[in-house]
Chain A
């Protein structure tokens, strides 16, 4: 394929996927989320810790408030502590008198220099997959509506999970496109290269990449074909909502 055609194809593909591939910066989004939560809950600090790839550690990715600079980047084993219990059990927990937990106080003092009295921690998970934990330190429990904080923070956690899931999907898409581009640059047709890149990914990712390939092919057809494809896709998505896999 000549370079001009290749660029045109990439341009068309990018335009078709535009809304999906225009993240505002995941870190910024998550940082803004923790800062918003911190202010909304009147808390001393708010942090997001994500499970490492092998799930053995929690990595503090973003934080706002007291001790934020020290806690960011910190790694703790996912097999201990309050944050560890939250990701392992999938249950939120609130503790309003941490001062009497000597182990926690000691660790907090050593690691961040800030020793909280209270913590509220909720899991961050997509459907079926645990991603991490959001912790709020010393929230203001006297605010009106503070009794709903566990539910509210869980809503924040859902937002964080959605952001993380879209970043992950974007990363997958990027990997497929890069591989396809590399192959196309070496002389392959882009659609064929996309298909091959899709085949190189395992499981669900392969399905996603194949879908991207199909979109690329559709993008080159007329509006009527695109309209038909969209209608079918919407029907499938609607049907899939009510469909669950329940192996016995």
Chain B
């Protein structure tokens, strides 16, 4: 499809080829090769908090752990059951496939937080995140977030828990220009779509709240029943970055979430020296 007529989700305007502004290059000997050259994601666990993962899809490979969370209306709490489950919608499988492409040897965990009902969804979502953090996931991919102000505090607390535990939260920026949580918080990595297809091309956003642009427009992704589809959304850009972070951490396992963000910024395609982008 012609790039000029492709869909452009909210926040992706900054990454349009004719709009992308340079950002100052960080004066460190860091490039993509240093960051993840020769790495495969081995030894890193990536949790996909979404609709479940279809472990039978050939583009996904093994799912090491799977938990499904649900809202128990009677006791007003989230309940958790561990064991294989199916992907209800296809989206979690799409995210898993994207992560697997970038980092073939990661251990994937499926944390299913979407399900039968919407009520209690925020609490279920929060419980899923907390489970992944507590169980030792190193990277968490979140292609969903909530716009409900009531959850601001809860998700802020969880984002801090993750950052302090050294867990990198990679969040899709909302597809419409309004704040959602935890994507809005500075401790997470928030991602919108650029219209490139190279999974290793990362653009740095010159202005917050979005941090990076990654492929998310007309990308081919695995879906239900072993199929693949072509899809657009910021929710597909996030797993590209989650995969790159897993690769980076498999080579440099001691990096903190803030150092991870710094490295990603250093290797961004639009990080330049000279002119508008003087070296930091």
Contacts and interface: CB of A to CB of B under 8 A. Distances in A.
Interface of A: 51, 54-56, 77-82, 84-85, 87-98, 100-103, 120, 122, 125, 127-128, 130, 141-143, 146-151, 154, 244-248
A86 B177 CA distance: 16
Contacts of A51: 118
A225 B98 CA distance: 64
Interface string B1-12: 110111111100
A127 B118 contact: no
Contacts, number: 149
A103 B224 contact: yes
Given A56-B116, A147-B4, A91 B174 contact: yes
A6 B7 CA distance: 57
Contacts of A98: 229
Nearest to A51: B118
Interface in B100-124: 114-119, 121
B53 interface: no
A169 B218 CA distance: 40
A55 B119 CA distance: 8
A94 B150 contact: no
Given A85-B114, A90-B146, A244-B149, A147 B175 contact: no
Contacts of A101: 90, 223-225, 227, 229
A141 B1 CA distance: 9
26 contacts: A51-B118, A55-B117, A55-B119, A56-B116, A56-B117, A78-B116, A79-B115, A91-B143, A91-B144, A91-B233, A93-B233, A93-B235, A94-B231, A96-B232, A100-B228, A100-B229, A120-B7, A128-B147, A128-B150, A143-B5, A146-B7, A147-B8, A150-B175, A151-B8, A154-B175, A247-B150
Interface residues of B: mostly helix, strand, loop or mixed? loop
B175 A80 contact: no
Contacts of A143: 5
B88 A142 contact: no
B149 A128 contact: yes
The 9 A-B residue pairs with the shortest CB-CB distance in the complex, in nearest-first order: A85-B89, A97-B230, A94-B232, A89-B144, A248-B153, A147-B8, A88-B114, A92-B175, A93-B233
B51 A246 contact: no
B250 interface: no
Nearest to A96: B230
A114 to B, nearest CB: 18
Contacts of A95: 229-232
Interface in B161-210: 172, 174-177, 180
Interface residues of B, number: 53
B161 to A, nearest CB: 14
A55 B114 CA distance: 13
Interface residues of A: mostly helix, strand, loop or mixed? mixed
A151 B118 contact: no
Contacts of A94: 7, 231-233
B152 interface: yes
Given A78-B117, A88-B89, A91-B234, 7 more contacts: A54-B117, A79-B114, A85-B90, A94-B232, A100-B228, A100-B229, A247-B153
A184 B27 CA distance: 79
B223 A128 contact: no
B143 A150 contact: no
B146 A146 contact: no
B91 interface: yes
